Structure 1
């Protein structure tokens, strides 16, 4: 018995891992199954990481990009010029956004000839860049889960699933959801709902048919696919190829998670047991403690003794953060920031956070205390109340503009004699400081200059042609061209400064400037 035990002893760690990973290999077949990723050998780059609970996080709650690869390349055809064989995959995922109802940019499963995806951009979901998007030399196949509508990719909306061949311009795309097996009706899903979902993707090597399915986690694989398209992947994929996931997030803090993953050649992917998957992280405040609910009545007596002091402190604090609010602003509530949050974000509008001084006030850098989103706050003085409702309506309308080459206007705040406009913070400042450097030497090469010019053109084209209402910028100059962390050009102001100037000059007579922003 001792001899038998000694012979089996090296195999014991493998037996222990069987509940976590099941895999088979042969000349014609290959498969694996991961319920979580603790102890799994993956190649990770960017901000991708595996949590102690076994959750694969491709991005976390900061602005970043991440990839996760199966570590070894797969032989999809068996020979350099052979036919790509049938394969099938499934994975469980979730997209968690710090801000309800908004996220960026998305995630994808992909097949690529290399693990070196370092020269990729965030808006291209970490797969490609503007120089190679659409090139046949990419040899890439992907299933995208897109949460941002990009005009340059002809995206249908900001909540869709797509099949990509060598390009972020999808071969086929459809809004996120699934078909009910019983009634045949279509049920909508939201990618950024924070709820886990499951994707299945199959490729038939004989019929060259690609099918993609999606359903809430715990549901069986639907009979009818969400996407179905014929395409011969033998003309696309190289031998061998790598498989994996990619995700990126722009200015909106988002966590892209993978909970489980299975893959198979020449057969169905092993079924994922949802009961064995890791739990999703919790975003936002923790639920109120039961202990607190019990002890709170006991603490009431103590509270009464100090209530006078508390009231005095509260009134002093309220006076410090007092805002100007009127009944008509209820309609614009979601676009209004509290002065308290902006005060703390900019550390009390300290000089060290001053970004610049414009014609209508100062601009400060800040970080929102709850979401940690970096912002720029413009403080503008005003005295008259006439026409302010119309002007705020213009601000909110412009705030709905979303394009990768525009500085997002997030909202506003009002105090007596003061208006604060809140924008996304652009970490590389304005183009002005690069064109007119102190030493007189250019700090941008011609390739960077051309990239910035294209960005400005894309932004103006969107304002003039693509948005639902035509917006005339009227003040394009280097100081109004801002650069984000990837040196992408983003247009700022959209003429708001000039519109505000007219309102101040005319006592905020809304009728005189109602058309100042639109044609």
Structure 2
């Protein structure tokens, strides 16, 4: 029965009820109801029941179609990971713990389509957020507003993946994800425009469109101007997200909290979300941290279906962002001391504060045990001046462990590279610095020399030689070049770099006073000097132990695609785990492809599997980088590819050591022949490593190519 008719029926009953005699109304409740006829009583009960049912349906529909959170105390959100609601009502997605992810979703799924196969309805959302970082110019990734068919993101990764996707499923249509990212770290693999941008994402983290964070302001003379915003400014900001189903238009608007919604959106994108969003889906937030202490907060949130205008939040009820450093205030001078002496003390205090602020600019963290390492320690003042105050124009790059700046030491006019790494002074810093100093004594023409270190507050600064030609991967993959078909490295240069890195690794493994295991050999950690000589750098993960002793277990670290399979079982880094990564490096330099790449059909393929298949079909030369245009020594290239397969063998004992590698590269000893087997590379890795860690396993299971048989090395 339609609601209008039910209401009419109820009104009729109420009118009849009101027409009863006064005497009837003065009696008891029992007497009053007994005056109604049985039929009328039944009709009244039925009508009120139907009215209650319709009212309940309207209430559920209202709840399903929109919601408003002016603070999150008692909200009942679906939370996981590091996400929590603070006593003040803040939604805290991350709490400063490194390498973690957090998710928060509205507890009930929303109906985005009227019919199962219908189009996605219009919708709108608005939320207030804030990002706090331990450093004023660095943060650890950002926040993502997401519409997804599930709240289970257990397979997603932290760091640059923002707790949303992983290396295998990034960009897959099966994700059914629509997202708006507020990103504070630039990642080349996702084609980020900078480290302070807003992006519209579909099924992954490569944005359809992105823009520098900011908002448009209309001046008094109607002149439009753009005001930049810094996402990690420690200030609350508001975001509006609107989807118009009629025009398939997605609008994203950003403004500081307290500023009215700008008339012009920050971004406007046309995309039909009916091809992405499921009939019912969840709405919420995802965030993750990397190697820096950051916290991500949401203060309030509203959502409305079938409308491009989100409900208003009660701004007066929003919780406030926490203060990072509480400021203690003392009234001792005002209460205890006479007014006359207070003026003198205040003047002296001002002078002292100014002096302390001047000194604090260069304050270092120094302990008694560091005296023995004195010659290897740089004053922070020298590094600050050398890099012009760590000016962004001197920034060489951003990695997983910190930012690297170019500098010139004023006293000796020496070019240096300074890496700023965050650290916890309570966790093995003495042992770590002892290893830094030991590594500073390394002397080899194919190693980037580590000159020394400096400690200041919560960070460690490592000082290296400056390499003017940058990292090898930028030359292999032609970052920033307009003509992608023009090779920047010919074969002779590549082979010379390979021989140089092999020589440097032999020195680390066998020829120095201790055994040094680098643990992070890859193209981005190979730097080029002014003569294009390859030098292995970034010893931030290196470990040392005496010759003839057994390496100790440690955390599994490194880069996906370069990690030896036995590390998942033993957690012991050894020279042969370096050899495995060097094998991947050989294939990467020769083929001009990353260790895990995407083929023409969009499948994720492991480079070693791909080269193995070419070897099985006697077509190794076809695996060589096409950007060389056939201008290379075929014998040398095939030798390097076969040697790369040998070094990447899943069985430890089947790999050569670096002395043998040098002999093979110089043709002093012939390379052993390969033999075929029907067992795949991945199967061999699993056989000798039962219980393989899922994170490491992903680097092997990512290949989807259908190789019926592969080959291994005798």
Q: TM-score, normalised by structure 1?
A: 0.63
Which residue in the other structure is 1:239 paired with?
Answer: 279
Give the Å deviation of 1:239: 1.1
Partners of 1:97 and 1:42 in 2: how far apart?
A: 25
- Cα deviations by residue, 1:348-383 (Å, 9 ceiling, x for unpaired): 7249996996583699xx9x8954x7x7x88x9xxx
- Cα deviations by residue, 1:288-311 (Å, 9 ceiling, x for unpaired): 43246667999x9xxxxxxxxxxx
Which residue, 120, 134, 137 being the options, matches 2:156? 120
Give the Å deviation of 1:103: 1.1
Which residue in the other structure is 1:74 paired with?
Answer: 110
Which residue, 196, 203, 210 being the options, matches 1:166? 203
Give the Å deviation of 1:252: 1.1
Q: Does 1:135 align with 2:172?
A: yes
Kept after mapping to 2: 8 A contact 1:262/1:269: yes
Give the Å deviation of 1:450: 8.6
SS in structure 2 opposite 1:26? helix
Partners of 1:132 and 1:319 in 2: how far apart?
A: 47
Q: Does 1:85 align with 2:85?
A: no
Kept after mapping to 2: 8 A contact 1:408/1:423: no
| Cα distance change on mapping 1:392 and 1:443 into 2, 3 Å | closer
Kept after mapping to 1: 8 A contact 2:122/2:245: yes
Kept after mapping to 1: 8 A contact 2:123/2:244: yes
Partners of 1:343 and 1:117 in 2: how far apart?
A: 29
Write out aligned runs for 1:325-364 (5 A): 325=379, 329=383, 330-332=385-387, 334=390, 344=425, 349-350=430-431, 358=439, 360=441
Q: Does 1:51 align with 2:86?
A: yes
Kept after mapping to 1: 8 A contact 2:64/2:111: no
Kept after mapping to 2: 8 A contact 1:28/1:265: no
Which residue in the other structure is 1:269 paired with?
Answer: 310
Give the Å deviation of 1:235: 1.5
Q: Which moved more, 1:98-107 or 1:38-47?
A: 98-107
Partners of 2:302 and 2:149 in 1: how far apart?
A: 20
SS in structure 2 opposite 1:57? strand
Q: Does 1:30 align with 2:65?
A: yes
Give the Å deviation of 1:181: 3.1
Kept after mapping to 2: 8 A contact 1:60/1:256: yes
- Cα deviations by residue, 1:263-308 (Å, 9 ceiling, x for unpaired): 011232111232221111122x33243246667999x9xxxxxxxx
Partners of 2:586 and 2:132 in 1: how far apart?
A: 31
Kept after mapping to 2: 8 A contact 1:428/1:485: no
Which residue in the other structure is 1:279 paired with?
Answer: 320
Give the Å deviation of 1:325: 4.2
- Cα deviations by residue, 1:15-53 (Å, 9 ceiling, x for unpaired): xxxxxxxx9653897111111100001000110011111
Q: Which moved more, 1:115-124 or 1:208-217?
A: 115-124
Give the Å deviation of 1:62: 1.1
Kept after mapping to 2: 8 A contact 1:344/1:369: no
Kept after mapping to 2: 8 A contact 1:178/1:186: yes
SS in structure 2 opposite 1:290? coil
Kept after mapping to 2: 8 A contact 1:145/1:160: yes
Which residue in the other structure is 1:428 paired with?
Answer: 556
Partners of 2:379 and 2:456 in 1: how far apart?
A: 22
Q: Which moved more, 1:352-361 or 1:111-120?
A: 352-361
| Cα distance change on mapping 1:428 and 1:270 into 2, 3 Å | same
Give the Å deviation of 1:346: 5.9
Give the Å deviation of 1:458: 5.0
SS in structure 1 opposite 2:131? strand
Give the Å deviation of 1:199: 0.2
| Cα distance change on mapping 1:224 and 1:393 into 2, 3 Å | same
| Cα distance change on mapping 1:146 and 1:427 into 2, 3 Å | farther
Q: Does 1:187 align with 2:187?
A: no
More helix by share: 2
| Cα distance change on mapping 1:286 and 1:209 into 2, 3 Å | same
Q: Does 1:100 align with 2:136?
A: yes
Kept after mapping to 2: 8 A contact 1:109/1:144: yes
Unaligned runs of at least 5 residues, structure 2? 1-28, 30-57, 346-365, 391-404, 406-416, 443-448, 480-519, 527-537, 543-553, 598-643, 649-656, 659-692, 700-714
| Cα distance change on mapping 1:252 and 1:424 into 2, 3 Å | farther
- Cα deviations by residue, 1:115-171 (Å, 9 ceiling, x for unpaired): 111111222221112212222211111111111111111111111111111121111
Partners of 2:143 and 2:332 in 1: how far apart?
A: 40
Partners of 2:297 and 2:367 in 1: how far apart?
A: 44
Kept after mapping to 2: 8 A contact 1:217/1:274: no
The alignment's C-alpha RMSD in Å is 5.3
Number of residue pairs matched by the alignment: 403
Unaligned runs of at least 5 residues, structure 1? 4-22, 301-314, 381-390, 410-420, 462-475, 491-519
| Cα distance change on mapping 1:250 and 1:487 into 2, 3 Å | farther
Partners of 1:280 and 1:200 in 2: how far apart?
A: 20
SS in structure 2 opposite 1:59? strand
| Cα distance change on mapping 1:369 and 1:327 into 2, 3 Å | closer
| Cα distance change on mapping 1:80 and 1:252 into 2, 3 Å | same
Partners of 1:252 and 1:433 in 2: how far apart?
A: 27
Give the Å deviation of 1:213: 0.5
SS in structure 2 opposite 1:172? strand
Partners of 1:159 and 1:453 in 2: how far apart?
A: 35
Give the Å deviation of 1:422: 8.8
Write out aligned runs for 1:488-507 (5 A): none
SS in structure 1 opposite 2:110? coil
Larger RCO (alpha carbons 8 Å, 6+ apart): 1
| Cα distance change on mapping 1:451 and 1:164 into 2, 3 Å | farther
SS in structure 2 opposite 1:191? coil
